[in-house]
Amino acid sequence: MSHDLAVTLSVTTGDSVDTKNGPVRVEGVYDYPDDGRAPGLGYAAIFIEPVTASTMFDACWMDAPYPAEDTRSLIWTSVETIGQAAKPTLGQLNSTMGVSFDAISAFNSRPSESFPWVALLLGSVVGFVPVRFRRLELASALHSRIPKAGLTLQVMLENLFWLIPAVLVVSGASLFLSQTALESDFISIASAGFRIVGLGSIGVLLGSIVGVLVTRERDLFKYFKER
């Protein structure tokens, strides 16, 4: 029975309630708050009775977290209109938050949708700035006839030395947090986290490469004066 009815009758799970058919044991108490949902079960007792495959009911409920148009069409297949005077109606249990919800549109328009590109930008800055601080060292190496391709490879390997452990730690944390979501949403949430980590890592490598490429041997003395 509902919580409100149980409070009125001063009973709880396991107690007995006298009815016209004799005492009935209360198997459970459910909550049915007044939060905008359709009335009817807020002050009621539900009895389970044996039925057959041809038994008809006065209502049919469907639990669909994200109902689509085909979902609404599907529920009409449970309606038997022969001999019914009243026209059946289709409604939502609780329409306080609206009668429809486009989950894909809501997911794609979430504030965190731009996070991967922000991570790419920040990663580029993280990769570029330290290399730029080393411009005197790099220009000196170029003056010593070390090829720029070799310097670029060196800087990338130096960044990978700390970037790989960081990616593993952050990816592991992303997987752990994704497990708190529904099983059906795990892949979507985990992939969103991996996009942030992946683009951030790419940004670090691209920023470091640009930092090497903009360093010129002919500016060696200029870098020395700016030191």
pLDDT of residue 58: 80
State the pTM of this model: 0.59
Asked if 126 and 204 count as a contact pair (C-beta separation under 8 A), the reply is: yes
Burial class (CB in 10 A: 0-12, 13-18, 19+), 151: buried
Range 100-109 average pLDDT: 75
Burial class (CB in 10 A: 0-12, 13-18, 19+), 33: exposed
Buried b (16+ CB within 10 A) or exposed e, 48-71: eeeeeeeeeeeeeeeeeeebeeee
Most confident among 63-67, 96-100, 162-166, 215-219 (mean pLDDT): 162-166
pLDDT band at 68 (very low <50, low <70, confident <90, very high): low
Q: What is the mean pLDDT of the chain?
A: 84
* Encoded tokens for 171: 């990816």
pLDDT of residue 176: 85
What residues have CB less than 8 Å from 165, skipping those under 6 apart?
Answer: none
pLDDT in tens, 111-169: 888 899 999 999 999 999 999 898 888 888 888 888 989 999 999 999 999 999 999 99
For CA atoms 196, 198, 199, 205, give the dihedral sign: positive
Count the Cβ atoms, other than its own, within 10 Å of residue 135: 20
pLDDT in tens, 191-224: 888 999 999 999 999 999 999 998 888 877 787 7
